[in-house]
Amino acid sequence: MSATSHTANELAERFGLRVHGRADARIAGVGTLASAGPEQLAFLANPRYRGQLATTRAGLVVMREADAEAFEGDALIARDPYSAFARIAALFAPRPDRPPGIHPSAAIDPGARVAPDAHVGAFVSIGAGSRVDAGASIGPGCVIGEDCVVGAGSELVARVTLVTRVRLGERVRVHPGAVLGADGFGLAMDEGRWLNVPQLGGVVVGDDCEIGANTCIDRGAIEDTVLGEDVRLDNQIQIGHNVVVGAHTAMAGCVAVAGSARIGRYCLIGGGAGIVGHIEVCDRVVVTAMSLVTASIREPGEYSSGTPLMDNRSWRKNAARFKQLDALARRVPRTES
C-alpha cells in the first residue's frame, strides 16, 4: 500500500461525491478500468466502456448514478465522472521538490525582484525590472527578460522564455520550450524590401492558464496580446500578435491564430486548425480539427471545413473536379429553368 491512500468515504466528503458500496474501501493510486488493481481507482465516463465494469479489478470506480445500479463493486457516484476522477488523480500526482531560494548559478539583475519564498532554479536568467511573486517556481534554464511579471503560484517548468513585457497572472503553468513575448510578424513593404514594424506591446496572461510545450505567443504591435483566465493551450501552438483569447477557451496542438484575431469565451479549437487574422469568433464555438476559419463566426455552434479522408484514387478524382464547381453552379439555374 502506498504511503498516500484514501478511503471512499474520505474522497466522497472531500469532493462532494456519494459512496456506493463500502465506505472504507481504500485506494492508493489510479488506473483504467482495464488495468486498475484492487488498490486503484478507475472511472467510467464513456458508455462504450460500460462492458468493462463486469471484469474490472479496480478497488473503486467513479461513475454516474445510472451506471451504479447494476454494479456490484464499490463506487463513487458523480455527476461528471471524468472531472471527479481528475480531481482525485491529482492527489497522487508526484510534485517535484521546489524549495524556496535562488540557485547559485542563476543570474538575477539587480533591478529585478524575487519573492523570498519563490523558487529559482539552475541557470535561470531574470532581467531588469522583472518580478517573481510569492510561491512562484522558475525551473532550470528559464530566461525572463526585462519588464516581466510571474504571478503568485505560477510555474515555468523548464527552458521557458519570457522575452519582454510579459505579464503572467496567478497559478499560470508554462511548459518547456514555450516562448512568450517574441516579436510579432509585423512587416511593411517599402520600395521592394521588407521593413520590420516595431512590436511595442506585450503579452498578458490571466490567472489559472496553462501553456503547452514549444508554444509561441507573440507580443502585440501596439496593444497587448491577451489570454483571459483559465485559457488552456496545448503544445506547439502559434498565437499571433494582438490576438485576444477569451476566458476558459481551450486549443489543441498545432493550432495557428493569426494576428489581431479575437476569440471568445468557452471556445474549443481542434488540433491543427487555423484562424486567419482580423476576424472575430464569438463565445462557445467549437472548431473541429484541421479546419480553416477565414471569416468571423457570430453564432455559437460547431464548425468544420476541409475534406474527409478517403483513398487516394477517389481523392484525386474529386480534387480534379473542385475547379469545375463554380462553372457547374452557374449552369444549374439555367438547367432547372
Listed range (29-38, 48-57, 271-280, 318-327) with the worst mean pLDDT: 318-327
Residue 1: per-residue pLDDT: 44
How far apart are the C-alpha atoms of 43 and 73, rounded to whole Å? 13
The average confidence (pLDDT) of the chain is 95
Average pLDDT over residues 192-215: 97
Return the exposure string of 143-171: e unless at least 16 CB atoms fall within 10 Å of the residue's CB, then b.
bbbbbbbbbbbbbbbbbbbbbbbbbbbbb
Give pLDDT tens digits for 113-137: 999 999 999 999 999 999 999 999 9
Strand locations in 228-270 (E): 232-233, 238-239, 244-245, 250-251, 256-257, 262-263, 268-269
* Residue from 258, 204, 212, 215 nearest 232 by CA: 212
Tally DSSP H helices, then E strands, for the chain. Answer: 5, 38
> In the predicted model, is pLDDT for residue 104 greater than 60?
yes
Domains defined for the chain, CATH in brackets: 6-92 (3.40.1390.10), 101-303 (2.160.10.10)
Residue keyed to cell 521593413: 195
CA 187 to each of CA 11, 222, 299: distance values in angstroms, whole numbers, following the listed order: 56, 14, 33
Catalytic residue among 119, 241, 248, 278: 241
Predicted confidence band at 94 (pLDDT cuts at 50, 70, 90)? confident
Whether the pLDDT of residue 337 is over 60: the answer is no
Q: Would you place residue 336 in the very low, low, confident or very high pLDDT band (cuts 50, 70, 90)?
A: low
Q: Is 241 a catalytic residue?
A: yes
Q: In this structure, what DSSP letter does residue 204 have?
A: E
What was the pLDDT predicted at 77?
Answer: 97
Query: What confidence score (pLDDT) does residue 215 get?
Result: 98
pLDDT (0 to 100) of residue 195:
96
